[in-house]
Amino acid sequence: MGTNTLEVAVLAGDGIGPEVTEATLAVLEALGRRHALGLRFTPHRAGAMAYRDTGEDLSDAAFRACESADAILLGAMGWPGIRAQDGTELAPQITLRQRLDLYAGIRPIRAIPGVPGPLADPRAAGIDLIILRESTEGLFFSKDRGTVTQDYAEETLRITRHVTTRLARRAFALAAQRKRRVTLVDKANVFRAFAWMRDLFAEEAQAHPEVAFDAAYVDAMALDLLRRPWEFDLLPTENMFGDILSDLAAGLVGGMGFAPSADVGDEHAVFQPSHGTAPDIAGQGVANPTAMILSAAMMLEWLGEAPLTEAAAELRAAVDRAFREGLRTRDIGGTHGTAEAARRVIAALE
């Protein structure tokens, strides 16, 4: 590799994490042979199994490697029976978001031709939206900070100007390259914090007259995502709302196996499928690797210019072609396992 080698820290994690990671790396290797991508992938241990074996779910060494890498590619982390001493789930992916200031959770929801979804309306083939989940504050700010007594439990939501304005800027910048519509999802009718968040977005909207801006209450959006999802473009929202709506939206395009994501800050970024470790199917080689492969495409795009951006476009087109030409993973009623899915995407590259 040349002097411009880009370093990618790979955290395969737990459950189906290592399975979809192996498939994704195989695809990236094939893609790397076709384009001079100059990427070096270095694996690091982190997650629930790492905690079980070493007492640390994300060691200092692993964190530093992530911090100094050009990008972080992550499988999935956590395991039902393995918990921290206070009983909470081990989630180093959340630690990474907070410590690396990855405030923007970019979660594209795009219908892939040939992948069956639950909506009968033919317009569902045109679903192409992004849930932009704020990923460092909101209700999740309270993680490890809440109060539980004999008589009450309390967790506090936090929204700051610093994070919200950067999130808004990112929402309008992304929308400007797409369908030019930003719809903030909030609960401004009940909470002053969300009314204030709406004001901050409205301020940013003034700097982007080319992008239409409106806002919707989260409960109404839950309904509209089922009724007319093809109308939406960029949906920025609070952390907890984004957590819930992104699973719902993934269901519109085939399920968690089709939902990629990027957690992006101003300097660092983690690319990972939106799904978890799927304990119910882990270890069987049947997980759908598409979400992670599409996350890798997002990584290539984020890392730079041509040939990386061209490789990203080719990778997305190969995923589409593979499904159009008959790839059917188990989660959509087919028989193709993780490795076979990777093989078919690689074949579709050529």
User: Which residues sit at the interface with ligand ATP, rule CB under 6 A?
Assistant: 16, 20, 78, 256-257, 275-278, 280-281, 287-288, 291, 331
Decide: 341 and 288 in contact? Cβ < 8 Å: yes
Q: CB neighbours (10 Å) of residue 117?
A: 19
The partner residues of 273 in beta bridges, in order of sequence, read 260
Q: Is 55 exposed, middle or buried (CB count within 10 Å of its CB: 0-12, 13-18, 19+)?
A: exposed
Tokens representing 283 are 């270890």
Our CB check for ligand ATP shows the closer of 109 and 308 to be: 109
Our CB check for ligand ATP shows the closer of 69 and 281 to be: 281
Our CB check for ligand ATP shows the closer of 22 and 67 to be: 22
Our CB check for ligand ATP shows the closer of 58 and 287 to be: 287
Q: How far is the CB of 257 from ligand ATP (least distance, A)?
A: 3
Our CB check for ligand ATP shows the closer of 58 and 215 to be: 58
Closest CB to ligand ATP belongs to which residue?
A: 276
Q: How far is the CB of 332 from ligand ATP (least distance, A)?
A: 9
Half-sphere exposure of residue 320: CA atoms within 13 angstroms, side-chain side:
12
Q: How far is the CB of 291 from ligand ATP (least distance, A)?
A: 6
Q: Is the peptide bond before 307 cis (omega within 30 degrees of 0)?
A: yes
Q: How far apart are CA 29 and CA 342, in angstroms?
A: 11
Return left, alpha or beta for 276; rule: phi > 0 is left, psi -120 to 50 is alpha, else beta.
Answer: beta
Q: How far is the CB of 295 from ligand ATP (least distance, A)?
A: 11
Our CB check for ligand ATP shows the closer of 131 and 291 to be: 291
Q: How far is the CB of 72 from ligand ATP (least distance, A)?
A: 17
Q: How far is the CB of 180 from ligand ATP (least distance, A)?
A: 31
Q: How far apart are CA 27 and CA 130, in angstroms?
A: 24
Our CB check for ligand ATP shows the closer of 242 and 257 to be: 257
What is the spatial order of strands in the sheet that 212-217 belongs to?
39-43, 6-13, 71-76, 269-273, 260-264, 104-110, 128-134, 234-237, 181-186, 212-217
Q: How far is the CB of 309 from ligand ATP (least distance, A)?
A: 26
